[in-house]
Structure 1
């Protein structure tokens, strides 16, 4: 019996879902803020070497990581989630079983590639229902066993042209994929989705990253800001303006207001909250501070109606 048979999917539910037979049509790559900024600058998720106990260490195969799993307890990989269309990524590809790794939740790994790896790995047939990933050809539907962690290792860059959704998730409160031995060293350790989103968007603003090409992920069809954008903005504005004694002269019309706001965002995104508050006090009042912050957030994501972020 192949190693992966013990992780096979269960029976698809007629309504709702069964944990061991969950539907999916997209897969995601979740990252910390700095890595997410790098992905957007590059326009793709770039493959890298595998550094854990994987057998691919010996092969020195470069892979990009994707998974259909959603971790309700938080993601050890960071706060920024890139969600991709699975069917687009696997078209005309070859599939190979790599291994299972005995983490706290056992991980099943499948390589997706253009390269013939038959001499190195066992070919994987997703149409077989006795496996952790099952493709029901008759109904054009993918399933996986949600009791385990399913990890797809893509032997190629993953272009953002396949992106379905960009959103924010909670960072795990106990684990971090970057700082495995000392997770508290991670500056984003344990942050909820809105805090992580605020750090990401302010980092993009101060480093000049143009997110307007991703505007459909931050603006919904009726022209209102998405929930992710609203919550990230509110998290930033509340955290910085709370208990600030506004006594300055800056208003939204001031020539230097945008420059000062970017300085505030720089201090905030790199964890210097008290410095950010000192700069915040340069504004005349909270309304002017919020309006300028909304302008910068909106410009960063290509949202034309910044007033929508500060409406009552």
Structure 2
């Protein structure tokens, strides 16, 4: 279901508060600011005009944002307020974007994109097009666990401009825009498949699988990414065993477990986290007729109590509380 928000019809003095609520709802906690410099560079000399459209695919949520010149800050307070850990892939369609995170700065012209991690502070600034028309961004909100399964933490460089006019960048940008434009005609199965494919193409464009020479760490990173993709694809069909994942990438079970030595996760933790992500999505979208026991059975937990303990460990609340908070957010 598509969700739309707009400042149209609001008085300029009411637009700021509404816009802050909109970007928080559709994106992440963000604090909008329009300084004197922003106002002088803008066609709109007061208030904060704009609209947002968002529609979930499967795990990711594409969002189109159109607005006037401004700065958006995701500071320490906003990081603490954020409930979900996400990676934002911002494709600039019109106007110019600038971003700053982890000590890096980037300028994002139309036809390029950059990524930002909601677990750490960042700043975004957008300028209208030279002809005075609003800036426009297509932003894909992707669960952080899924992206990090494809791109190792040291390799995922935020606030870096990716040129979407050539190479893998243009493939990723074309796929993002095509999926967004075609979303109304996509079946549930197509949404799921294209959601996963889009995440993988974006990861490729970000350099997830670049190898330098015979660097063993690059090979191991790519192997772990392949394992994560296999788990992601197999999970809806039932239990995912280490022996199956090892066979899929052509290594022994012992080697599979060794791949995670020295990392913050293990194969078992990777499977568990993905199961919990799927459980959380079903709690959000399954409707009141789907019980916690149904969700536990669907995603491989022994019973509702088992899911409850694991869910609290990851999300800090019970499945029931999570569903209630999600319903309150949507309404």
TM-score scaled to structure 2, two decimals?
A: 0.28
Which of 1 and 2 has higher RCO (CA within 8 Å, sep 6+)? 1
| Structure showing the higher helix proportion among its residues | 2
TM-score scaled to structure 1, two decimals?
A: 0.29
